[in-house]
């Protein structure tokens, strides 16, 4: 075999390795994920050829799908808004959502509290990926470069926010979010638990939450300023 022939053969072998079913899920184990799905997800969700919407939407074709986009399913306002903002289900955003649903979609109706074990999340996402139309063609980052929710150091979550300073900083927030807690097309953040507020703002900083204005605003706030805003809105009377 000539040099050109050997090169073509090598390229064919590489292509087969890249696009083999085993390579499609380079981190998680789909079989373990199937067991995990049955135990933790199947009470609300269905997946597979006969899947229909139940308490939660069916999960076929999840990768690459815009949040809140399954026809015939009634989503929470928060999930619908996040879809309108551009939230799309990818390896990265699904991993963040499964880890802590409320950190990515604050008002989600999903009762599931989150899966903290990274290995189990990888297995579950590998299983879900097998039911997307063309999983091998889904663009994603390097397998080992998966981004999860901000791994906030305990000292960041422990910062005691100054509510008075938060009130001073809040004028930018209140141009869109109503201080009285009313929802006029923009979600209320009045009386949010402070920790939820902090985690959500850091998710914007990391660009896991997709709203570009919120990403910009969160990106210019320090940890102390986020804590101050969290303290203010947590105690603000409706």
The CA–CA distances, whole Å, from 149 to 74, 103, 152, 208, 215 equal 26, 8, 9, 7, 14
* pLDDT score, position 39: 93
- List own/partner pairs for 44-52 with CB under 8 A and 24 or more apart: 44/110, 44/111, 44/112, 47/128, 47/131, 48/131
209 contacts: CB under 8 Å, gap ≥ 6 = 82, 85, 87, 104, 200, 203, 215
List the pLDDT tens digit at each of the 238 positions of the chain.
Answer: 455 555 445 444 434 333 333 333 446 888 899 999 999 999 999 998 889 999 999 999 898 889 999 999 999 999 999 999 999 998 889 999 999 998 889 888 888 888 999 999 999 998 888 887 655 444 443 332 334 455 678 888 899 999 999 999 999 888 888 777 676 667 788 888 888 888 888 888 888 777 878 888 899 999 999 999 999 999 887 6
Give the distance from CA 165 to its chain's centroid: 30
Q: Is 88 helix (H, G, I), strand (E, B) or coil?
A: strand
* pLDDT score, position 124: 93
Domains, the chain: 17-145 (1.10.760.10), 154-235 (1.10.760.10)
CA distance 17 to 13: 6
């Amino acid at each position: 075999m000539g040099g050109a022939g050997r090169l073509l053969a090598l390229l064919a072998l590489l292509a087969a390795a890249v696009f083999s079913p085993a390579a499609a899920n380079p981190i998680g184990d789909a079989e373990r994920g199937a067991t995990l799905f049955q135990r933790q997800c199947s009470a609300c969700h269905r997946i597979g050829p006969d899947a229909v919407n139940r308490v939660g939407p069916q999960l076929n074709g999840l990768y690459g799908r815009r949040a809140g986009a399954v026809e015939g399913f009634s989503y929470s306002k928060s999930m619908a808004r996040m879809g309108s903002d551009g939230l799309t289900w990818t390896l990265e955003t699904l991993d963040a959502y499964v880890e802590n649903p409320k950190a990515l979609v604050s008002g989600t109706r999903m009762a599931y509290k989150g899966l903290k074990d990274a290995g189990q999340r990888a297995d579950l996402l590998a299983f879900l990926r097998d039911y997307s139309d063309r999983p091998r063609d889904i663009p994603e980052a390097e397998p080992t470069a998966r981004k999860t929710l901000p791994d906030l150091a305990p000292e960041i979550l422990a910062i005691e926010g100054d509510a008075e300073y938060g009130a001073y900083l809040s004028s930018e927030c209140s141009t869109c979010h109503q201080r009285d807690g009313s929802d006029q097309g923009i979600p209320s953040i009045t009386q949010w638990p402070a920790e939820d507020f902090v985690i959500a703002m850091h998710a914007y900083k990391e660009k896991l939450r997709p709203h570009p204005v919120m990403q910009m605003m969160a990106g210019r706030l320090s940890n102390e300023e986020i804590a101050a805003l969290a303290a203010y809105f947590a105690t603000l009377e409706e």
